[in-house]
Amino acid sequence: MVPELLIDFHRADRKNRNGYFIILSGPSGVGKNTLLSRILKDLSGVYYMPSATTRPMRPGESQLNPYAFISTAEFEAMIEQGQFLEWKKIHTNAYYGTHLPTIQYAIDNGYDIITDMDVLGCADAMEVFPEHIRTIFISPPSMAELSNRLYGRDTDPANIEQRLSRAELELNCRDSYDYLIVNDDLDLCAKELTQIIRSITAN
């Protein structure tokens, strides 16, 4: 079951303005979750927003890290109840969705949150909260390197091919994002991303 709010917000982090909802997109395997787990400990007051998904956990993942892992029946019940800001079926027909009550609470109460989302979900979210969303696209240095990263993370070639075949759709949307960065050297990219997030949330 998904709790009422997916984030335990602390009053001390509350800003005297609406919260920003920062969305990271980029092809699966480009390094979004690696970057987020590296930088968030240095970004106090910026909360990671876990999406809900029906895909199986990978080794190293756990509940709410990076997803709320739920069953298809639970996900479909949440769709019926209007609990998603947006949701998509991606790759192996797994559902992925963004929990609307948590996002609405964060924006209304001055908490800054960040999540990753595919390009279509990001476009849907922009329609709902155009003033409160800032978007960042992460590109791979090359398709060959993206493929290396996917093969390094997973052993199932079908999973990997599904993700590679979707990469073009994702990359074609990169120019519509507020910020575009390339994840080549992980340390440099993490620094760049941290600076962008600080510049957004400083206001």
Per CB under 6 A, residues contacting ligand 5GP are 28, 51, 55, 86, 88, 90-91, 96-98, 116-118, 121
Instruction: In angstroms, give the least distance from the CB of 36 to ligand ADP.
Output: 8
Which residue, 78 or 190, is less far from ligand ADP as judged by CB? 190
> CB within 8 A of 131, min separation 6: which ones?
18
Which residue, 19 or 31, is less far from ligand ADP as judged by CB? 31
Instruction: In angstroms, give the least distance from the CB of 86 to ligand 5GP.
Output: 6
Say which entry of ligand 5GP, ligand ADP, none residue 112 contacts (CB below 5 to 8 A, set by partner kind): none
Rounded alpha-carbon distances, angstroms, from residue 80 to 19, 83, 117, 177, 178: 27, 8, 21, 30, 32
- DSSP H or E segment with residue 135: strand 133-139
Task: Check if the beta carbon of residue 96 is closer than 8 Å to that of residue 129.
Answer: no
Task: Check if the beta carbon of residue 39 is closer than 8 Å to that of residue 190.
Answer: yes
Q: Which residue is nearest to ligand 5GP (CB)?
A: 121
Instruction: In angstroms, give the least distance from the CB of 35 to ligand 5GP.
Output: 12
